[in-house]
Structure 1
Amino acid sequence: MEIKTDYQFVEGLDVTPEVRRSFDEKGYVIVRSLLGDEEIKKLHKAIEHNKGILKHRYSVGDGHGRNLGHVIWSHPGNDITGVIAKSEKVGGFMGKLLGGEVYHYHSKMIMKSARTGGRFNWHQDYGYWYNNGCLYPYMGSVFIAFDKCDKENGCLQILPGSHKMGRVDHVKIQDQTGADIERVEFAKQKLGLLHVELDVGDALFFHCNVLHCSSPNNSDRRRWSFIMCYNRKDNDPLWVHHHPSYTPMEIVPNAAILGCPDEVDLAGKDFLNPREHEAVPFQEDEDNKTDEKK
């Protein structure tokens, strides 16, 4: 029986037994139009017009001579990015997929410039987070397309079902940590590869052990994404690191997204400054400073 992994958002969409089976068997579900047109407009305005979040931007090298722009923050806060992260259809949905109360582990904007944006090497998020003292892989991410993501501009690629492999050994590749490529190639032959092509507002919910990567952006279009990462309460990290320990997160109604004030309040978000953390490599952000839509 074919397993459905692609769903259309409607108000009240829930983690039914079918959705649970999709996530458990394949390690991901796609929810189309998770953010509606007005919600996307509000998010774009807060990120691009206010510029407050983008002031915290830095670059990470991809090991192939290109860079990717990053902004990372620890706590959701009360701006629209935080309200989205705490909303029933994002944070609430992820908690149900992961089987327990979750908290906001961190959020980030990943920015691939047109023509010069770098790649992400094959990796599992838990390949990073295991080293942060998270004992169990009770973790996951929600990837929302801030721009259209397709093969041409370096969309996400995943190996469906690879979360069942458990944690794969990871090694340092310039500023990134990458999975054992021999094991990745074996998994690719067994599981197949999926290019996750998303329209603006579509979302990918995926388990922290799903192997994923993305190609460089050789197109004339940028590719930005908004990613929210979650950890289960009972997986509180064993030691203090650059992402937060368990911090209660109140789930809010979906209507709170459009009800969020236009004035951007960034208080309490705790943006990551890579200069303060030896574990976070970075480069000065030159290539990504003038990342305008083409």
Structure 2
Amino acid sequence: MAFRLTQEQVAAYHEDGFIAVKGFCAAAEVNKLYATALADNAMQQHALDLNDQTGKKTRLSLWFTPGNDVFGYLTRSHKMVDAAAALLDSDAPVCHFHSKLMQKEPRVGGAWEWHQDYGYWYKNQFMFPDQLLSVMIALTAANKENGCLQVIKGSHKMGRVNHGFAGEQVGADMVMVTNALKTMELVYCELAPGDALFFHPNLLHRSEANLSEHPRWSLISCYCSQSNLAYNETSASWKTPVQVVPDEAILEWEAASLGQADFLKKENDPALKDTGWEQ
């Protein structure tokens, strides 16, 4: 049977700002995705290193247009796109803004400071945060030991808070974060390989450095309604409806190399540019 979010899951997303879906990807799918991430040279050649406030590095590879590679088949799959459509606040076609492979290596993978994704995407001048969302797919186990995602439940209802630079990252105003932690529940989102976490762009979240002996790798795909205009975004994927493929494509279709993907270059990321309001 085709995957569909339940009405209860949709309601929980809007109430809490996130939902976790266990076993969203089958073990065979996860194995193929992780093996590709390790073996495809393009993923490593285009990886960006971003320093946290202590100087530890988190590596990520970010691309825009989903292609005919195994990651493109996942982000274009019915189960991903249909779930995004059920959660986005629009009836317009679903578009793929970007995907990124997060690579936190054992003992050296850096932290992500408290932030909202819309704290970054506001700089892209997207108009409507409710018409954006992120989907994290765990490729390896994510737990407290290796720096799993932490979220403040319900914090998306605060709207966008001010952000400034924290190392090479964009971090949320810590006064508001502290107030949010006094008011709302802190949740550690521990995921098994193949689990999915859907979360709102105004949900406050962070992750600790990976000081464990085990890697923490995940894919995060970000979706946007075609009706959500972005006035400072040079890529075109955010306004191009996803060409949906069957879920079976992930395992059964011939996959191209990621070398054809349109990867982000660090110097072109508007989120890392100073606009003046970060001070």
Query: Normalised by the size of structure 2, how large is the TM-score?
Result: 0.91
Shift of 1:15: 2.9
2:216 maps to 223
* Paired residues of 2:150 and 2:186 also in contact (CA < 8 A): yes
Percent of paired sites with the same residue: 37
Q: Distance in 2 between matches of 1:181 and 1:196?
A: 21
Deviations along 1:102-136, one digit per CA (max 9) or x if unpaired, are 21100001111111111000000001101111011
Aligned pair partner of 2:188 in 171, 195, 199: 195
Shift of 1:279: 4.8
Q: Distance in 2 between matches of 1:29 and 1:266?
A: 32
Equivalent position amino acid for 2:209 in 1: P
2:61 maps to 71
Structure 1 stretch 244-253 or stretch 148-157: which is displaced more? 244-253
Say yes or no: does 1:115 pair with 2:127.
no
Q: Distance in 2 between matches of 1:214 and 1:264?
A: 30
Shift of 1:94: 1.0
Shift of 1:49: 1.9
1:6 maps to none
Say yes or no: does 1:213 pair with 2:206.
yes
1:98 maps to 88
1:174 maps to 167
Aligned pair in 2 of structure 1 residues 62, 243: CA closer, same or farther (>3 Å)? farther
Structure 2: gaps of 5 or more residues: 274-279
Query: Normalised by the size of structure 1, how large is the TM-score?
Result: 0.87
Q: Distance in 1 between matches of 2:140 and 2:236?
A: 26
2:276 maps to none
- What SS class does the counterpart of residue 41 from structure 2 fall into? coil
Pairwise mapping of residues 76-91 of structure 1 onto structure 2 (< 5 A)?
A: 76-91=66-81
Q: Distance in 1 between matches of 2:105 and 2:32?
A: 22
1:284 maps to none
Deviations along 1:139-180, one digit per CA (max 9) or x if unpaired, are 100011111100000000001111111111111112011111
* Paired residues of 1:119 and 1:215 also in contact (CA < 8 A): yes
Q: Distance in 2 between matches of 1:251 and 1:175?
A: 35
Q: Distance in 1 between matches of 2:176 and 2:201?
A: 17
2:155 maps to 162
Q: Distance in 2 between matches of 1:275 and 1:165?
A: 31
- What SS class does the counterpart of residue 91 from structure 1 fall into? helix
Shift of 1:252: 1.9
- What SS class does the counterpart of residue 165 from structure 2 fall into? strand
Aligned pair partner of 2:49 in 44, 59, 63: 59
- What SS class does the counterpart of residue 121 from structure 1 fall into? strand
RMSD over equivalenced CA pairs, Å: 1.7
Aligned pair partner of 1:133 in 125, 128, 132: 125
Shift of 1:208: 0.6
* Paired residues of 1:103 and 1:249 also in contact (CA < 8 A): yes
Shift of 1:277: 4.7
Aligned residues: 270
- What SS class does the counterpart of residue 30 from structure 1 fall into? strand
Shift of 1:242: 5.7
Aligned pair partner of 2:135 in 142, 159, 163: 142
1:22 maps to 12
Q: Distance in 2 between matches of 1:55 and 1:160?
A: 36
Pairwise mapping of residues 224-239 of structure 1 onto structure 2 (< 5 A)?
A: 224-239=217-232
- What SS class does the counterpart of residue 214 from structure 2 fall into? coil
- What SS class does the counterpart of residue 32 from structure 2 fall into? helix
